[in-house]
Chain A
Amino acid sequence: MSVAASAAFLALASVPMVSAQVTGDSLVNAGKSSDDWVMYGRDYRSTRFSELNQVNDSNVKKLVPMWTFQTGVLDGFECTPLVSGGIMYITTPWNHAFAVDAKTGAQLWRYDRKLPDGLALCCDAVNRGFAILGDRLYMTTLDAYLVCLDAKKGDLIWEKKLGDYQAAYSATVAPLIVKDKVIVGISGAEYGIRGYIDAYDAKSGDLAWRFYTVPAKGEPGSETWEGDSWMNGGGSAWVTGSYDPELNQLYWGIGNPGPDFNGDVRKGSNLYTVCTISLNPDTGKLNWYYQTSPHDIWDYDGVNEQILIDEEIKGKKVKAMVQAHRNGYFYALDRTNGKFLYAKPFCKVTWGKVNDDGTVSVDPKAMPTKEGVPAFPGAAGGKEWVPMAYSPKTHLAYVPVIENGATFTSHEIFYKKGIAYWGSALNLIKDQAKGALRAIDVRTGDKKWDFPAKSPMVAGVLATAGNLVFTGDAEGNLIAFNAKDGNVLWKFQTGSGIHAPPITYKIGGKQYIAIASGWGGWTAGFAGDGAPWLKNSRKGDTMYVFGLFDETASK
């Protein structure tokens, strides 16, 4: 070997390798003792639980920043970064993206999307992250495209139009890879769109199937929509679903009907809005649905993530799924068939109640009027989209909770292409907002411990085998808790409010914790007048990565 060649070899050896490719199998096994983080919810069960335990309840106090990465994009930073083969993949607001050496923070490439003016965005210019398969990355965009990038170079391989942004279709969801397909859901139900979930061929980008979340006239379920109201019926699918490879069922939560607050123009139960649905991922055919809030009029999207659990519920081991719903109830369903197991409120609820059989009784006094009526929770829900975590070791789900109500109004509205179709508004009850990280036993729905917070808790959660739970707060602290009892073990001020989920990964025998810090999102919905102290909160754009302090490593 010549000198030049060996120098080149050495240079290559020090560069992180992308060769450890993410395959269909590695996605199926993502939850099992993987050092990487290769999908949005960590695994197909969306547990956000990692077996890594080098950082644990006995040494977490020694957690210090290893590197930070400022993207320069100041808006709601909602990304779950992916880590594969030593590289971290980050998406930012306004659809910029970066690949970064996950050990050092050095930038490898960046991707910038030129977005058109005139986007219709209800809730900040956000993006929740990539999906990865092989050496390709997939991201949805605010102008309603699915883009496929080369993971090695950041170059665009192809892009596919999901919808017409001029008719207010947009996309923010982190895609989910199932076998050879890329699954995405559309956004825009605040603007009178008709929602859908799409599957695209991961190689060619060809549309494999589309499932409309609002059935057309004559299709099953269309009898739940009055007249032509289905045409603008909403039903966004803006949060990444879960998948059970054994049952071959894809689970997805469906958002609010449109218009949000005026149900008079869409009489009926409005399927499949505010539903949990199960699809066959190969065909897009509906297996079953479960509607949590029929004919919703409080914008209680049913989109929140579904964590798949195998636990004993009511004396029987079941293949279940749990969801902390925006309507304030913690639900458990049988994921084989969608049968109701239990639902318990996890925050203050006044819109009505979920009965023991899963049916819903609405309090007529809580229904939006022209003058406005208060109801709990507010429209951002008892929990926003920010994902909870579940630890099979403690049997607990760790739920970031918003405690606040809103005054809901309603008025007549006519659909106009491209502009908001709310049918009125909500106004958070002044100065009353607060939050909590709440640990809930998934077997019963009962609260185990609680960390009360000054402001709504709107960051995602990570649980680890080190008996740790991580989440962020609105004031910018990343906090580590004892997973069993909720004691605060460590905290770090990141400089901007946290509205993203933490992740963990391991490279070269060292465990890292990463969090995106950057305040934003639908702050009018979860902070606003309810938490006026968060008004004008400073923005941020920084990925923080932490590891245990190692005296021997300082050179």
Chain B
Amino acid sequence: MKVFLKIGSAVLFALFLITATSCSRNTTPPSKATAAPNKSANPFQGKPEAIQEGQNMYRSYCSGCHGGSGHGGKCPDLTDDLWIHGGADEEVFLTINKGVSGTEMRNFEVGLKPEEIWKLIAYIRSIAAAGGESAWKPFEDGDAAHGKALFSDAKGQAQCYRCHMVLGEGGRIGPDLSRIGAKRTPDYILESIVKPSADIVDGYLQFTVTTKNGTETIGYKKNEDNFTMQLISTEDELVSLEKSDIASVSTNKNSVMVEGLEKLLSKKELHDIMAYLKTLNGKPASK
């Protein structure tokens, strides 16, 4: 455990350096075969001063609809990988410059110069979901195929698949990991494995709900309104409750994922699982 914690803090520091100096992300989508990998059309990509200017513009011009943190509001989330009008730099530029007819997205060419739009894009890229590269590389030595076997082994120590789904197979107690490799840094994935309660993903906070007749359900909220609540229980059941039948609801600070997986698995096995998770990008594995 201590070893991992040490690695963790070194990694966090490295991560800090990365976020402070560069913001490279998958700015060119895989579909754009013509664009060189990791080469951006944006002359301001990753430039801190431009990003700062971009932030000012973002706040004033964009946040009203796309939210102060870019997570969307009425208008689309700008921090995920879904780009309705195209995610390549040139496409995002076009969307901002010309607007989208029939929506509230206006043509910003009326007020912004091209270089200002590029700075805005540099900022938008900088707030996009964590991803990118990490200084922590041991997973590269791992055997992804073996990691996959460990992930799915019904008799193994990890049995990840019981709670996590990958491309339609597995449980639904924990988050779907089909795109985890594209979405999260290795450091984050590692932290999630050895310290599952350190950061519980939105929507997976566990609740204990006791009804007036004494039935107890532990699970995360799938939905809630003023009169009902729906949970996915740790038994993998969808439980729907009328609030008028509920006696108490309490929040559990700890993840339901077991602590101490690093003691149950060898370092090699952990690296193998990491290597497997890093391959998960939402697409079926290539043959």
Contacts and interface: CB of A to CB of B under 8 A. Distances in A.
Interface of A: 76, 117-125, 166, 190, 259, 406-407, 409, 411-413, 416-428, 453-454, 473, 475-477, 479, 491, 520-525, 527-529, 532-533, 535-536
Given A125-B104, A409-B59, A419-B108, A528 B71 contact: yes
Interface string B69-101: 101111101000000000000000000000101
Contact of B112 (A411, A419, A532): A419
Given A190-B64, A422-B64, 10 more contacts: A76-B74, A117-B106, A123-B74, A124-B104, A419-B61, A426-B63, A427-B63, A521-B74, A524-B65, A529-B68
A527 B104 contact: no
| A118, A417, A491, A520: most-surrounded residue (chain B CB, <10 A) | A118
Contacts of A454: 224-226
Contact of B61 (A166, A420, A491): A420
Interface of B: 56, 58-61, 63-69, 71-75, 77, 99, 101, 104, 106-108, 110-112, 202, 223-227
B111 A523 contact: no
A418 B111 contact: yes
Contacts of B60: 259, 411, 413, 420-425
14 contacts: A118-B99, A122-B65, A411-B56, A417-B110, A418-B106, A418-B111, A423-B60, A453-B226, A454-B224, A473-B225, A524-B66, A524-B67, A524-B74, A536-B72
A366 B64 CA distance: 20
B225 A475 contact: yes
A411 B224 contact: no
A424 B101 CA distance: 26
B226 A473 contact: yes
Contacts of B77: 535
Q: From DSSP, what is the main secondary structure of chain A's interface residues?
A: loop
Contacts of A428: 67-68
The 8 lowest CB-CB distance pairs between A and B, nearest first, are A524-B73, A427-B68, A425-B59, A419-B111, A475-B225, A416-B111, A425-B63, A422-B60
B68 A425 contact: yes
B64 A122 contact: yes
Contacts of A419: 61, 106, 108, 110-112
A118 B106 CA distance: 5
Contact of A411 (B59, B61, B99, B106): B59
Interface of B is mostly: loop
A532 B74 contact: no
Given A419-B61, A473-B226, A118 B74 contact: no
Contact of B107 (A117, A417, A426, A523): A117
Nearest to B56: A411
A418 B75 CA distance: 19
B224 A427 contact: no
Contacts of A423: 60
A437 B72 CA distance: 26
A141 to B, nearest CB: 15
Nearest to A430: B69
Most chain B CB within a 10 A radius of its CB, from A413, A419, A520: A419
Nearest to A457: B226
B224 A406 contact: no
Most chain B CB within 10 A, of A119, A123, A409, A524, is at A524
A427 B111 contact: no
Contacts of B72: 524, 528, 535-536
Given A118-B107, A425-B60, A425-B63, A528 B226 contact: no
Contact of B68 (A259, A426, A475): A426
A522 B227 CA distance: 25
A124 B74 contact: yes
B68 A406 contact: yes
A477 B227 contact: yes
B234 to A, nearest CB: 21
A259 B223 CA distance: 38
Nearest to B61: A420
A417 B224 CA distance: 43
A417 B225 contact: no
B226 A420 contact: no
A535 B80 CA distance: 13
Contacts of A532: 71, 202
A525 B72 CA distance: 11
B69 to A, nearest CB: 5
Contacts of B99: 117-118
B74 A523 contact: yes
A127 to B, nearest CB: 14
